[in-house]
Amino acid sequence: MKVEPIDHLYPECRARCIRQMAVGDGHILHVEECGPIDGIPVLFLHGGPGGGCLLEHRRLFDPAVFRVVLVDQRGAGRSLPSGELEANTTLDLVADLDYVREALGIPGWIVFGGSWGSLLGLAYAQIFPESVHGLVLHSIFLGSREEIVAYASGLGSLLPADEQDDPLAAFARRILGENAQTASLAARIWLNYQRKLIGKPPLPAEPDAIQLARARIQMHYLSRDCFLVPGQLLAGIDRIRHLPAVIVQGLADPVCPPVAAEQLHRAWPDATWVPVPDGGHDVLTPAMARACVKALGWIAACEEV
């Protein structure tokens, strides 16, 4: 029996199962499952990179309908070792996801991800299209150099004049450097910059271990163009063109502006385009949550046909 959402999110729910899953290279993933074991399988991909899953993310899914698998990616959230960068690339994360799917005995699932999660979802689907029954992608990020430079451009004014041309590289040197105090200070500035973009207050104290891990992983990926060849995800659309998909994009998103989502839709016109006029970046806000919940219902209906 379906559960109706309260306003824009479903009621709080407990995880049915929580695992620590070793995936090789010394990495241990935190994996949660919610909903009935015979429900429609959904893979939830968090943002970041390095963001980790939140308890609130469970509330995007009808707990009576969907078997949701939430994975903290390598080094992120509650996965161990926290902030580990060795053997941590986009291809490693993709391989982990299909390892988790096989370990849980799931033949195929719907992929649901936003921001960094939309990039990872596209990369995963293009390598393992036979494991994907459909996609719900929001707040689109394709990992291009242009997107990354635009995102970090506002940091230039916080740096000495000789480092303002490439603020991301300057912060990467500090955050990934050997000096712990310098790394913590730079990470706090970086994280507060991100928080300001989405309307959150600054951190009240020095970053904790999980926040430092997030900053380290973000610098690791963004300074390396997310370990993708330029244009890779758009070039790979032919491998997934047959899959049902919805692109949900907040037109007021300050982190992932609509440009990348529009590029994706031009390359994949068969995907359903859902612009959210008053939508920002956060999938948990009312406008974005409602659009994504509706999109997931449509993809699930396609699967049942």
- Give the other-Cβ count within 10 Å of 110's Cβ: 25
Angle between helix 180-197 and helix 209-222 axes, rounded to 10 deg: 80
The mean pLDDT value for 18-31 works out to 98
179 CB-near residues (< 8 Å, 6+ apart): none
**Active-site hit among 30, 57, 138, 281:** 281
Q: What angle do CA 89, 97, 34 make, to 5 degrees?
A: 135
Selection from 300, 303, 305, 302 nearest residue 62 by Cα:
300
225 CB-near residues (< 8 Å, 6+ apart): 143, 144, 145, 148
| β-strand partners of 114 | 138
**Active-site hit among 79, 82, 115, 223:** 115
Q: How far apart are CA 66 and CA 58, in angstroms?
A: 10
Chain segment 30-74, per-residue pLDDT in tens: 999 999 999 999 999 999 999 999 999 999 999 999 999 999 999
Mean per-residue pLDDT of the chain:
95
Residue 12, Cβ density class (10 Å: 0-12 exposed, 13-18 middle, ≥19 buried): exposed
**Active-site hit among 62, 96, 253, 282:** 253
Upstream peptide bond of 49 is cis (omega within 30 degrees of 0): yes
| pLDDT value, residue 156 | 85
DSSP 11: P
Q: Are 140 and 261 in contact (CB under 8 A)?
A: yes
Tokens found for residue 236: 């790979």
The reply to whether 8 belongs to the active site is no
CA atoms within 13 A on the CB side of 79: 35
DSSP 49: T
Chain segment 203-217, per-residue pLDDT in tens: 999 999 999 999 999
| pLDDT value, residue 162 | 83
| pLDDT value, residue 157 | 86
Q: How far apart are CA 284 and CA 85, in angstroms?
A: 28
Selection from 71, 102, 107, 74 nearest residue 90 by Cα:
74
pTM of the shown model: 0.96
**N-term to C-term CA, the chain:** 19
Q: How far apart are CA 294 and CA 305, in angstroms?
A: 17
Selection from 250, 293, 238, 291 nearest residue 122 by Cα:
238
- Quickly state the pLDDT bin for 305 (edges 50, 70, 90): very low
Q: What percent of the chain has pLDDT over 70?
A: 97
The reply to whether 223 belongs to the active site is no
Chain segment 84-125, per-residue pLDDT in tens: 999 999 999 999 999 999 999 999 999 999 999 999 999 999
Chain segment 125-152, per-residue pLDDT in tens: 999 999 999 999 999 999 999 999 999 9
Least trusted range by pLDDT, from 4-13, 37-46, 264-273: 4-13
Helix residue ranges, H only, the chain:
90-103, 116-127, 145-152, 167-175, 180-197, 209-222, 232-235, 258-267, 286-304
Q: How far apart are CA 170 and CA 156, in angstroms?
A: 9
Helix %, strand %, coil % of the chain (to 5) = 45, 20, 35
Walk me through the domains of the chain, giving residue ranges and CATH numbers.
17-143+229-304 (3.40.50.1820), 146-225 (no CATH)
The reply to whether 220 belongs to the active site is no
